[in-house]
A and B are shown apart, each in its own frame.
Chain A
Amino acid sequence: GQQVMQIPQYQHVQEGEDFTTYCNSSTTLSNIQWYKQRPGGHPVFLIQLVKSGEVKKQKRLTFQFGEAKKNSSLHITATQTTDVGTYFCAGGGDTGKLIFGQGTTLQVKP
């Protein structure tokens, strides 16, 4: 079945450093979504990418969807302590189901 792989599993950075997490799907996706889950919280929707090669920005966050619609990345510029949490990518298909990646847990040292 469809699998979504995400790396790295953990990332520790110094505040102010950049951070990137990568997502790869075994199949072509209709869309890819990104979620953030704070410790003890539930996943919160960040963004959805639909078009091949799409790039979207939210302040210090940059999201990319690959040309083949099988991979994606999230890049955070100049991390802050408020960025701490686990970032999940989730591949969407035509059925409405989401297949989540394993997540990347970001720790930021002040």
Chain B
Amino acid sequence: SAVISQKPSRDICQRGTSLTIQCQVDSQVTMMFWYRQQPGQSLTLIATANQGSEATYESGFVIDKFPISRPNLTFSTLTVSNMSPEDSSIYLCSVEVTGSGNYGYTFGSGTRLTVV
């Protein structure tokens, strides 16, 4: 299965600033997914990042607020822009593990963001 290195693991940020979260995968993957998980809640898909094309955003999420880069098949970044306390959450990247087995989706360890 794939191994994802996600950083930072946590941060405390001032409102109005931006934070960029990075995910590095140890193998090439076509799609990377970015999720938000608010405390005690489920995972909500923010966007799907494809290499070589613009990310596809889910309803309620826009590129100006959550710009995504996908420069190659092993790396992606998500930026949380102009942050407010409502953006305090855990952000996770994920990739689908394909191959001869059934490995589902692998998640990064998450970035716990607190906006003050």
A contact residues vs B (CB 8 Å cutoff)? 1, 33, 35, 41-48, 88, 90, 95-103
B104–A45 CB distance below 8 A: yes
Of the residues A41, A45, A102, contact of B105 by C-beta under 8 Å: A45
In the bound assembly, the distance between CA atoms of A99 and B31 in angstroms comes to: 16
Interface residue B81 (Cβ < 8 Å from any Cβ of A): no
Residues of B near A100 (CB, < 8 A) are: 42-44
Residues of A near B44 (CB, < 8 A) are: 100
Question: In terms of DSSP, what is the predominant structure of the interface of chain B?
Answer: strand
Range class of the B interface residue count: 20 to 34
Question: In terms of DSSP, what is the predominant structure of the interface of chain A?
Answer: strand
Pick 27 A–B contacts, CB within 8 A, sort by A.
A1-B59, A33-B104, A35-B104, A42-B109, A42-B110, A44-B107, A45-B97, A45-B103, A45-B104, A45-B106, A46-B104, A47-B102, A47-B104, A48-B104, A88-B42, A90-B105, A96-B31, A96-B48, A97-B33, A97-B45, A98-B33, A99-B45, A100-B42, A100-B44, A101-B42, A102-B41, A102-B42
In the bound assembly, the distance between CA atoms of A44 and B110 in angstroms comes to: 12
Q: Contacts A88-B43, A101-B42 given; indicate if A96 touches B102 (C-beta within 8 A).
A: no
